[in-house]
Amino acid sequence: MTIENTLSIIKPDATRRNLTGSINAKFEQAGLNIIAQKRLQLTKDMAQKFYEIHKDRPFFNDLVDFMISGPVVTQVLRGENAVKVNREVMGATNPKDAEKGTIRKEFAESIEANSVHGSDSLENAKCEISFFFAEIELIY
Ligand code: CMP
């Protein structure tokens, strides 16, 4: 049994439509515990740094603009195989490809406004969690 922490971001398209609670219910129904959470307005600098890995992709500037277009909710989800379980609950990046019952199938508006971000590996999860949270803020 591997208990992991992973980073989740509820994106501006979802906070704008008041979907934070509905999305959190999906995480909790999947057995993930929300052990830290904060609502933030990202700055351009923060969004560029967070998504630095995508800086050469054609969608980078639009992605950064979208991520600063309204509040986000950053959170740490904890549970058995949390990285994988969270990615299953989120569904495919493009909502057109997402499975029924997933967050992106139910809530996402487009590949860009896709409601949630989740770490794609345990290594990245550690790095992404430390981007937003101090160790002392993770309560479990
Ligand atoms: P996310 O999991 O936050 O990681 C990078 C984000 O870039 C992704 O979700 C999408 O919201 C966004 N994005 C925009 N266009 C594309 C694209 N063509 N391919 C992949 N990701 C994209």
Interval 34-85: pLDDT, tens: 999 999 999 999 999 999 999 999 999 999 999 999 999 999 999 999 999 9
pLDDT reading at 1 higher than 90? no
- Ligand 1 atom, smallest distance to 118 CA: 2
How large is the average pLDDT for residues 116-133? 98
Residue 38: per-residue pLDDT? 98
- Ligand 1 atom, smallest distance to 51 CA: 5
How large is the average pLDDT for residues 16-29? 98
Say what the pTM is.
0.98
Average pLDDT, the chain: 98
pLDDT reading at 6 higher than 80? yes
Report the residue among 46, 86, 102, 111 best suited for mutation to probe ligand 1: largest number of ligand atoms under 8 A from its CB. 111
Cβ partners under 8 Å of residue 20, min gap 6? 10, 14, 39, 73
